Amino acid sequence: MGAVYRAHDEQTGEEVALKLCFDVAREARFEAEARLLSSLSHPRVVRIVDHFSDASGQYIVMELVRGVDLGAQLQQRGTPGLPIGEAVEYVLQACEAVQYIHEQQVVHRDVKPQNLIACERGVVLVDFGVARPLEEAELAGTLGVGTPRFMAPEVFADGTVSVRTDVYGLAATLWTLLAGHPPLYGKPGRLPDLVPDVTAQLEQAISAGLAFLPERRLASVAAFARALGAPAREAGGQPLAHSLEISEPPATVLEGIVRTAAGVFGASASSICLIDDASGDLVYQSAWGAGAAQIVGVRLQAGTGLAGRVVQSGVGEAVADCRADASFATTIAAGTGYVPHTMLVVPLLRDGRAIGALSCLDRRDGDSYRTDDLERGALFAELVVVALNQ
């Protein structure tokens, strides 16, 4: 696509990085990179100074980040990988950069060790050559854009892009920094076999970030950082998710709950999701009926979807027409092969706080769920929480 030179800015007297595009076919992509970088301002994101074109080509002038990229560090110091604490800290700093650009509705699409430079101010994310506004990236076919093994499987397969694309890149980067090589798609293996000191929590966090199907992957960079142990906070300083310390209920208990709920509420399908206290995501733990096998393991970012909205508010909802509701997670439903018409969703409350939600989908009599179903739903949810506490 181009080349990057060390240059001298005659106006400021500073050294800068000067990126030149010499591939005419990629000038539009180069211009998009300049436009995106101009809109970003964060200490963990490379800063653009200027961009211009002349007879010799298009240029982007950026700050010169003085440091060593993590790929080079791995080559120089990996035995085979970097120390666990150091690798995790590098990736947590990278999470700050990627979370910021996601908040600006930008997806990077090429997060990897070579695009993360460790310098005096910490890790800095560079090379936005394939980055795009999120809305544009979701609409455009981006088949094969990125770096194999760090590129999320769905991008490699059909060009699908979302914020979970960058979650995969971050998880693959951390795996690489620890193991000395990138993970394989679908079957990366057990990290503790390669790095004996890796804790179960760290292995679970990385595995959740590397999930082959995007809907089963950690839903956001903030969730990935939390799973790694970072105290993710809102602007007001409050935790984004309560630490609920929920022990995983036996599968037989959950299966009994969803089957009974379907019978009590005459539903064609039912499911139960619980908050993952490490990440803050809602994770579907058990389901019965249409689309049941596909929904188990799916993750929703906090506040996303009808279940996320109910968990956030702590108030149950009878939704007469799901597809007409702006909060309905259409892509998640479509991924299960079953898109419901009507839903009853009630929060599971423990000590006044929501720990998850129970959903009943499509009445078998063809009618819609109504507000008068909510009282029974709330009573049933109380029994569910009692069962989970046993």
Is 193 a residue of the active site? no
Q: Whole-angstrom Cα distance, residue 205 to residue 315? A: 30
Token readout for 184 is 């394989």
CA 239, 243, 244, 247 torsion: positive or negative?
positive
Q: Whole-angstrom Cα distance, residue 209 to residue 64? A: 31
Strands ordered across the beta sheet of 67-69: 67-69, 116-119, 122-125
For 389, residues 6+ apart whose C-beta sits below 8 A from its C-beta are 350
CA nearest neighbour of 75 among 173, 177, 174: 177
H-only helix segments in the chain: 27-38, 70-77, 84-103, 134-139, 153-158, 163-179, 191-194, 200-209, 221-227, 251-264, 292-295, 305-313, 330-336, 374-389
What's the angle, vertex CA 108, arms to CA 104 and CA 140, rounded to 5? Answer: 90
Q: Whole-angstrom Cα distance, residue 246 to residue 289? A: 26
Q: Whole-angstrom Cα distance, residue 183 to residue 319? A: 42
Residue 235: exposure state from Cβ atoms within 10 A (0-12, 13-18, ≥19): exposed
In this structure, what DSSP letter does residue 161 have?
-
**One of 69, 110, 127, 362 is an active-site residue; which one?**
110
Residues annotated as catalytic (active site), given as ranges: 110
